[in-house]
């Protein structure tokens, strides 16, 4: 693909495409992908910043968030970004084209949304996360179904009875769930009862359930238990073995992925 030498305009267009697909990228990544020098990429980004909705950052650039309200949200997104991306790529490989997918919300789920768009998968996705749903519906083959309900400003997702009731009407092939904590004794846990109930419902109405969690979520026990650790679930994480003690034994199938590029 990136064999030939592109014209400057094509390169800039490609940068824009990459930034949109992944919400952001480092200069290093762009250099490698477009086989250009950092100086050139920097010049391109400077130029694009003035005529496209992107924002230069240290070491790269990201899509300009429409509203300043999303500021700290974007910050959270960049935490453990490499691990989340690695998890996302793995999870996407589990998704069959044409299937129906449940996803809850969170920055790891958002990373999966980006990966789905990048992979150009044709799927039906139901989610309570506003940002995930809009991301998926923007110029992709995904049919994105937003579960209705009360919008919580903290997470940009819906919650409550409406959300659960609507989820109850949908049957899926796979549920992808990012919990707040994974604990050897308590299993999959959440901070909010609504989130826990929704996760439970999504899981029972899907043929398969995949739990995704960055290392820092493991061995954490939050307020509400949603599901026990069971052989029916797969846990995809980038954590090292030291953070996994007791989890396998408690019954869950663990899929570790390497975070180093």
Query: Which of its own copies, DNA, none binds 121 (CB below 5-8 Å, type-dependent)?
Result: none
CB atoms within 10 A of CB 184: 18
Least Å distance, CB 79 to DNA, is 11
How does strand 233-237 pair with strand 253-256? Answer: parallel
**137 binding DNA? (CB under 7 A):** no
CB 34, min distance to DNA, A: 9
Between 147 and 176, how does the x/- string for binding to its own copies read (CB under 8 A)? Answer: xxxxxxx--x-x---xx--x--x-------
Q: Which of 38, 97, 98, 193 contacts DNA by CB under 7 A?
A: 38
131 C-beta neighbours (distance < 10 Å), count: 21
Closer to DNA by Cβ: residue 14 or 89:
14
Count of C-beta atoms within a 10 Å radius of residue 190: 24
Figure out which of the listed residues 14, 42, 65, 251 binds DNA, where binding follows CB under 7 A.
42
Pull the structure tokens for residue 252: 């869950």
Q: Backbone dihedral region of 246: left (phi > 0), alpha (psi from -120 to 50 degrees) or beta?
A: left
DSSP string, 107-146: HHHHHHHHHHHHHT---EEEESBHHHHHHHHSSSS-EEEE
By CB under 8 A, is residue 231 in contact with its own copies? no
* Contact criterion met (CB below 8 Å) for 63 and 53: yes
- Asked if residue 79 binds DNA (CB under 7 A), the reply is no
User: Smallest gap, in angstroms, from Cβ of residue 20 to its own copies?
Assistant: 10
**Residue 219 falls in which region: left (phi positive, over 0), alpha (psi -120 to 50) or beta:** left
Residue 93 found at the interface with its own copies (CB under 8 A):
no
Q: Do residues 184 and 246 touch, judged by C-beta distance below 8 A?
A: yes
List Cβ neighbours of 4 (8 Å cut-off, separation of 6 or more). Answer: none
With CB under 5 to 8 Å by kind, the binding choice for 82 among its own copies, DNA, none is none
Piece of 53-61, 98-106, 139-147, 248-256 that binds DNA (CB under 7 A):
53-61
Answer with the entry of DNA, its own copies, none that 205 interacts with (C-beta below 5 to 8 A by kind).
Answer: none
Instruction: Copy the structure tokens of residue 199.
Output: 């996760």
Region near its own copies per CB under 8 A, out of 84-92, 105-113, 139-147, 202-210: 139-147
- Per CB under 8 A, residues contacting its own copies are 4-10, 13, 23-24, 26, 28-29, 53, 55, 57-60, 62, 67, 69-70, 130, 133-139, 143-153, 156, 158, 162-163, 166, 169
């Amino acid at each position: 693909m990136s064999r030939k030498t592109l014209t400057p305009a094509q390169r800039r267009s490609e940068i824009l495409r990459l930034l949109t697909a992944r919400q952001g990228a480092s200069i290093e990544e762009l250099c490698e992908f477009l086989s250009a020098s950092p100086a050139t990429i920097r010049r391109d980004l400077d130029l694009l910043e003035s005529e496209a909705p992107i924002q230069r950052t240290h070491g790269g650039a990201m899509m300009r968030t429409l509203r300043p309200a999303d500021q700290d949200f974007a910050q959270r997104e960049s935490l453990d970004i490499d691990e989340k991306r690695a998890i996302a790529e793995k999870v996407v490989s589990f998704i069959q084209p044409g299937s129906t997918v449940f996803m809850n919300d969170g920055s790891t789920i958002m990373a999966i949304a980006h990966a789905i768009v990048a992979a150009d998968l044709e799927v039906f996705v139901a989610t309570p996360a506003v940002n995930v749903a809009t991301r998926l519906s923007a110029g992709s083959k995904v049919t994105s179904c937003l579960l209705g309900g009360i919008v919580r400003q903290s997470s940009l997702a819906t919650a409550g009875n409406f959300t659960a009731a609507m989820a109850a009407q949908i049957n899926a092939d796979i549920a992808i769930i990012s919990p707040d904590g994974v604990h050897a004794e308590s299993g999959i846990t959440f901070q909010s009862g609504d989130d826990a109930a929704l996760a439970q419902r999504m899981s029972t109405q899907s043929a398969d359930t995949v739990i995704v969690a960055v290392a820092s979520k493991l061995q954490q026990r939050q307020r509400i238990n949603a599901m026990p650790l069971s052989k029916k679930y797969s846990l995809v994480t980038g954590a090292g073995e030291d953070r996994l003690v007791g989890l396998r034994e408690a019954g869950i199938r663990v899929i570790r992925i390497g975070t180093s590029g």
